[in-house]
Amino acid sequence: MAKKKLGQHFLIDKNIAAREIKYASLQKDDIVLEIGPGKGILTKLLSEKAKQVIALEIDDKLVKRLRSWIPDNVQLIQGDALKIDFDKLPRFNKIVSNLPFQISSPITFKFFNYGFSKAILIYQKDFAKRMVALPGVKDYSRLSVAVYFKSYCRLLETVPKTCFSPQPKIDSCIVELISREKPPFSVADEKFFFEVVKKLFNYRRKKIRNILKETYNINVTDLPYIDMRVEEITPKQIAELSNSLFNIV
């Protein structure tokens, strides 16, 4: 029985799980992180291809069920993926998961703070569209900028809601993330850059000039793009603005 408070929607289509494995291009020396193994439809396939699987599951009943059959190369850890320190886990290089939808945003930002080569993840479709959105469209967001800065991102295929039990309200997408070896543009200070991104998108309909005046109480006359709105400028242009602002404050 799925727990509503945990946002559980179990993948029941084995063909989708098999395609996730194929997209991940697993090798015999790969160590894979899986968030929310649920009933194990993906876990079993991962264990057959990878050297080791680290599966994080919060639900004690599912943990008990999984422990009754999981292979020796699966390390099952009970706990909240948002609270577990990834640096204390075995060093994984890939992430393959059917993510609990309600933690999509915080777990994605957490992934970006940890080095991985490739991730194959299922997100709800509206969230996935925000990940690849470009300036000038309503889905363009703080998430879009972070994903672009940290990775190469592709939407691989749509997963119908009928592939899950219980069914979510909307369809999902399989998303590929490949970590960038270096950012696509330079920032004076990464933490400051992401703080600026967050502040600007919190007031996306305001002109940048007004947001910065209210936030930093400084003369913004010489800063670039101040008469535009953040939804109109590219991640690189936001970085140019952030770098100029960093030199002032």
Q: Tell whether the torsion through CA atoms of 148, 153, 157 and 162 is positive or negative.
A: negative
Domains defined along the chain, listed by start:
4-179 (3.40.50.150), 190-248 (1.10.8)
Model confidence pTM above 0.85: yes
Q: For residue range 99-117, what is the model confidence (pLDDT) as tens digits?
A: 999 999 999 999 999 989 9
Q: Tell me the per-residue pLDDT of 28-41, one tens digit each, with 9 for 90 and over.
A: 999 999 999 999 99
Q: In what order do the strands lie in the sheet with 118-124?
A: 74-78, 52-57, 31-35, 94-98, 118-124, 172-179, 151-159
Question: HEC string of 149-169?
Answer: HHEEEEEEEEECHHHEECCCC
For every one of its 249 residues, what pLDDT tens digit does the chain have, with 9 covering 90 and above? Answer: 545 455 579 999 999 999 999 999 999 999 999 999 999 999 999 999 999 999 999 999 999 999 999 999 999 999 999 999 999 999 999 999 999 999 999 999 999 999 899 999 999 999 999 999 999 999 999 999 999 999 999 999 999 999 999 999 999 999 999 999 999 999 999 999 999 999 999 999 999 999 999 998 888 888 999 999 999 999 999 999 999 999 988
